[in-house]
Amino acid sequence: MNYKGYEAIVEFDELDRLFFGRVIDTRDVIAFDGASVDELEQSFHAAVDEYLADCQTIGKTPDKPFSGRFNLRISSELHRQAATKAEKEGISLNTLVEKALQQVI
């Protein structure tokens, strides 16, 4: 499920016969539930809207779904090899890493 850029995963509790979900792309906890698909979707939207409103009220910047940046720790030798390959291909190291990730995902 996606809403306002936030992505959630959903599970079903057979015992309680209830759908429940959580937003997966923030450090903050945003959870919701519902007895039907429509109720679940409404609860998800309400939870995200409430999270954004709460952030605004307390003056906090909402945790954005993935910024597109991440730190990567690799050996200095692999770093050198990757930088050399990127230079030979006439692309940035970021572009090389992005292309490599796209091949495995």
pTM for the full predicted model:
0.65
CA angle (56, 59, 62) in 5-degree steps = 60
Tens digit of pLDDT for each residue in 8-29? Answer: 999 999 999 999 999 997 889 9
For the domain made up of 2-58, the CATH class stated in words is: alpha beta
Phi and psi angles of residue 37, each rounded to the nearest 5 degrees, phi first: -65, -45
Domain spans in the chain, listed from the N-terminal domain onward: 2-58, 71-105
Residue 51: how many other CB atoms lie within 10 Å: 19
Tens digit of pLDDT for each residue in 26-44? Answer: 889 999 999 999 999 999 9
The number of angstroms, rounded, from the C-alpha of 29 to the middle of its chain's C-alpha atoms is: 12
Stretch 81-101: mean pLDDT, rounded?
Answer: 94
Burial-class residue 86 by CB neighbours within 10 Å (0-12, 13-18, 19+). Answer: middle
Residues 18 and 4: their CA atoms lie apart, in Å, by 24
| pLDDT band at residue 98 under the 50/70/90 scheme | very high
Bridge partners, 7 (sequence order): 2
